[in-house]
Structure 1
Amino acid sequence: MNVSDTGMSNITKVVDRYVEVFDADQDSYVLHPWTWLDPQGGTPHYVFILPVVALVALVTNITIGIVIVKEKLVSSANIIMIGIAVSDTLTVLSPTPLLVTIYWQNFAKEVPFDLCVVWEYFMKNICAVTHTASVWLTMYLGINRYLGICHPFVMRRRCTIKSTVQTIFFIYTVSVLFHLCRFVDTKYVPEFVSNSSTNTCSARYADWVGDVNNQRTYECIYYWCHIICISIIPCSVLIILDTIMLRQIRKSEIKRSIFQTENQKEASKRKQSDSIRTTKIIVTILAIVCVLELSLGTILALWTLNMMGYLTISEDILGRTSTFIHFAIYISYPFIFLLYCRLSSQFKKGISGLLSCESSSRRKRTATQSLSLKTQSSLIIDPP
């Protein structure tokens, strides 16, 4: 694994400790911490933790989809939640199998040439697309709930099932287009490794990117577009919507307490409680996403300023912080599932029903096996 011949050490102060699996170029490990190696060697701890997190996220998000479909909770907001669940699952699941395979097969420093493009797509590009879609879908969920609270008539007219599905597909399409350049900006050349029967590869920028100055400009444009479009704009929108929705909830509670009669209060108490609880839970989910995405955007901004020469921050600090934030993002997926479980009484009922069905089927299987064993025992003890 050779360092690129572009003289990277002379134009940036970032690459002083970590090494990219294929090349130490201007590619950011902040967005893809699993593709960078510590020169001291060894297997990183996340190789053992990431599969567990991926499995938990997969199970919980599948459960969300099953409950929504089984309990017929099909609404525009729930369809968006299914889209977010799919995006989150793909984000954490995309790099995990290949990462585990690479380290278990001791290919971390010598990835076989046949896996180079696969590594690029699954470790970087696909998870970047799905993560971006997840953030934008979360912003769409916030807008949807805002319309439901503050402009219910507009929501009924605009946020139909058909329009929601079309918007989700549109978000995924734009997300693919946003990262499309990453699918074509790298080429791989075979590289012979001494004392090894496996040829690895070396990553190079595609010819259309240009020389080293163009490469740095290209990376800076991509990173700042990422910071603005995936961190700043969505989080700003979510913060504004969260504030408006919380104020609207407070106003609604005051108005209802003043104008409703006692009988009306009792009749609408449960419905009002469910609506307020749903809004508060969604506001909590949006706040979690804001905190994590703003943190990741801040680290990426520091990396970019380092690369441009405006700052000098320890790469070790940036690398460890990036890994921690990514773990926090992945762990937030099951935690958000727990919030979904409290979203409404019908959703909780669906979860309980799903678990009880599994328990009853397990008891039935156990009873059937026990009856079969008793029958076999009686045949053995009392033969005809």
Structure 2
Amino acid sequence: MTENATGNPNGTPPFMNLRMMTPIEYAVPINGYFSPILICFTVVTNILVVVVLLKKHMRTPTNAILAGMAVSDMFTGLIPLPVFIYFFSLGNYREKVPLNWCVIYVYFGEYIPTIFHTASIWLTMALAIQRYIYICHSFQARKWCTMQNVLLGTAIIYAIATLAQVSRFLEEEYIDFEAPSNVNPNVTVNACVRVLKPWVRNHMDLYYNVYFWFRVICIHLIPCTFLVVLNALLILTMRQAQIRRMQLLKQNKKSESRKLKDSNCTTLMLVAVVGLFLLVEFPMGIIMILNIVQNTFEHVNICDDRTFAIMSLMSNFFILLSYPLNFFIYCGMSRQFRETFKRMFIGGSMPIDRECSQYMTLPIENGNKTQMTVGGGETVL
């Protein structure tokens, strides 16, 4: 199970040729025209997200994770941008890939973006876990949901995401060959051949099965399943909090009720962020599972490679399309984010309303008190 050249025993090197590797009629408009515009828009919106979330009054554990997600999403799109422009926008996909662009295509178009996308997936899971602890285990939140732990966890996530991909950088070598041009057969060009190294070639089935099954299980299936469960628990908790808020209003405890409402708004915003992530990630996970199953089991024939390539291309585009949407979720559902963003351009002092602290004590009906998290001061509402 491999997408790479391994050499041709008949003597003709398998030159790297994008016409053979990708469905060009779909890749050119998507990667060559729509994606570069979308990536530029993503860079602008995600830089704005990071700038707002790292303002002094906004620096909280949850906002640190949101900023990390914005950085990961931005680089997932930005790093392959030179590949999209050179090959698909400028039409160089017609020619055999030269050696220098062969390495750039593989590293910038495939391997490095995968690291950032993996980090984004795990950061999204960390965000949901943190919010669940804030809401359902508030006493533990003081210990676990700290800025120091978030920064350490983010560093660990990036390190593991890199380690999960590092073998891809070592699995092949790139050889320069002279060959007839695809555009003009009378002209000779330098073309690239990707050749698997012996340690991969001798254990190819084992290596690619381990790599792709690990990827689909640990990077797609488990995080997505976990997020579905956590989102359902958070939605259930919001319903219970809404009932509690009605009780507080009946008891004329308007201040506690307002803070509980802020907590629900914060949770709802994070549920929306996670929901958008699941909406675009699930199709990619399903495509990968089907593709791996077909390549692992010889007698299973789900669909041809071209169909898988088209589905993967479309799924990747919708993932890219989702990246700038978080900015609008924050603006639409976060009062403090909206006010901070606005005052960055019109001037004036930044909002410092942090009345909704990480923890608050709410009276319950029997006169006792219970500590619960309501917004964490960490969010932006």
Give the TM-score normalised by the residue count of structure 1.
0.80
Number of positions where the alignment pairs a residue of Structure 1 with one of Structure 2: 333
Partner of 2:77: 92
Which of residues 206, 210, 213 in structure 2 aligns to 1:224?
213
Which of residues 19, 22, 32 in structure 1 aligns to 2:16?
22
RMSD between aligned alpha carbons? 2.6
Contact 1:4 1:23 in 2 (8 A): no
Contact 1:342 1:348 in 2 (8 A): yes
Contact 1:302 1:311 in 2 (8 A): no
Q: Do residues 153 (structure 1) and 139 (structure 2) align? A: yes
**Amino acid of the residue matched to residue 145 of structure 1?**
R
Instruction: Give distance in 1, aligned partners of 2:145 and 2:320.
Output: 29
Higher radius of gyration, 1 or 2: 1
Q: Do residues 62 (structure 1) and 47 (structure 2) align? A: yes
Unaligned runs of at least 5 residues, structure 2: 181-185, 349-381
Partner of 1:205: 196
Give the TM-score normalised by the residue count of structure 2.
0.80
Deviation at 1:47, TM superposition (A): 0.7
Unaligned runs of at least 5 residues, structure 1: 8-19, 25-33, 359-384
34-43 or 342-351: bigger deviation:
34-43
347-356 or 73-82: bigger deviation:
347-356
Partner of 1:381: none
Instruction: Give distance in 1, aligned partners of 2:135 and 2:250.
Output: 22
Q: Do residues 170 (structure 1) and 156 (structure 2) align? A: yes
Q: Do residues 304 (structure 1) and 292 (structure 2) align? A: yes
Cα 1:238–1:198 change in 2 (3 A) is same
Partner of 1:330: 320
Matches within 5 A, 1:1-384: 4-5=6-7, 22=16, 36-38=21-23, 43-70=28-55, 72-104=57-89, 106-108=91-93, 109-194=95-180, 195-196=186-187, 198-211=189-202, 214-258=203-247, 261-264=250-253, 266-308=254-296, 309=298, 310-357=300-347
Secondary structure at the aligned position of 1:313 is classed as coil
Cα 1:319–1:21 change in 2 (3 A) is farther
Secondary structure at the aligned position of 2:36 is classed as helix
Secondary structure at the aligned position of 1:199 is classed as strand
Contact 1:135 1:234 in 2 (8 A): yes
**Amino acid of the residue matched to residue 275 of structure 1?**
S
Contact 1:61 1:85 in 2 (8 A): yes
1:222-251 per-position Cα deviation (integer Å, ceiling 9, x unaligned)? 111111001111011111111111111212
Deviation at 1:263, TM superposition (A): 3.1
Deviation at 1:281, TM superposition (A): 1.6
Contact 2:248 2:257 in 1 (8 A): no
Instruction: Give distance in 2, aligned partners of 1:121 and 1:304.
Output: 22
Instruction: Give distance in 1, aligned partners of 2:98 and 2:118.
Output: 29
Contact 1:21 1:36 in 2 (8 A): no
Cα 1:141–1:39 change in 2 (3 A) is closer
| Percent identical residues | 29
**Amino acid of the residue matched to residue 190 of structure 2?**
N
Which structure's residues are more often helix, by fraction? Answer: 1
Instruction: Give distance in 2, aligned partners of 1:260 and 1:234.
Output: 38
